[in-house]
Chain A
Amino acid sequence: DTEVTQTPKHLVMGMTNKKSLKCEQHMGHRAMYWYKQKAKKPPELMFVYSYEKLSINESVPSRFSPECPNSSLLNLHLHALQPEDSALYLCASSRGTGEGTSGNTIYFGEGSWLTVV
């Protein structure tokens, strides 16, 4: 099983709503990621969790709140989003957590399409 599973596939939310995106992997990977991808643009890193601890926050606004309940799950809690936050949100995972190791191959989920109205 080399899959990263994301739910929901599509989400429409108002600017005052609170919602969550969920991500799951059962590959035993110890690093998990959230990326944001706007149309026709490359993915941009938001957060990295390593061994269930937040290791990188790329200066993401606090209206995005990540959570890693266990080594297989990663959530992204959304609150008071803006229309410009509409994008494809990608979850990913990798076996390795260090520099220069072959475990750095990162596997992506299909993404959750988020529309903020």
Chain B
Amino acid sequence: AQRVTQPEKLLSVFKGAPVELKCNYSYSGSPELFWYVQYSRQRLQLLLRHISRESIKGFTADLNKGETSFHLKKPFAQEEDSAMYYCALGGAAGNKLTFGGGTRVLVKP
């Protein structure tokens, strides 16, 4: 069975500080990992996917298969980064995307 765990429900950091959102997954096949972001009153948007290994809005995430983790990092948080972040696992037959419980990030001025 697929499972995604985001241990922190809330992360509060000051502007300019580093932020790291943890994500661990459980899956027996070849995983595809994503980070989605949901700003207040906006649609769920794709932020990153591990397969493209890109950096978006200063965020990066590395898939660590040994630790089954896909943590999201940003060295210098900005106030506009305040949002809900969901880690998601795909890869099962039929395109089933499983979300973690989400982490709310609050960046204080």
Contact = CB atoms under 8 A, between A and B. Distances in A.
Interface of A: 31, 33, 40-45, 48, 50, 55-56, 90, 94, 96-100, 102, 104-111
B45 A108 contact: yes
Contacts of A40: 102
Contact of A107 (B46, B51, B102): B46
A5 B15 CA distance: 34
Interface stretch (B18-26, B27-35, B55-63, B67-75): B27-35
B104 to A, nearest CB: 8
Given A42-B86, A42-B100, A100-B32, A110 B95 contact: no
Contacts of B30: 99-100
Interface in B39-97: 42-46, 49, 51-52, 86, 90-97
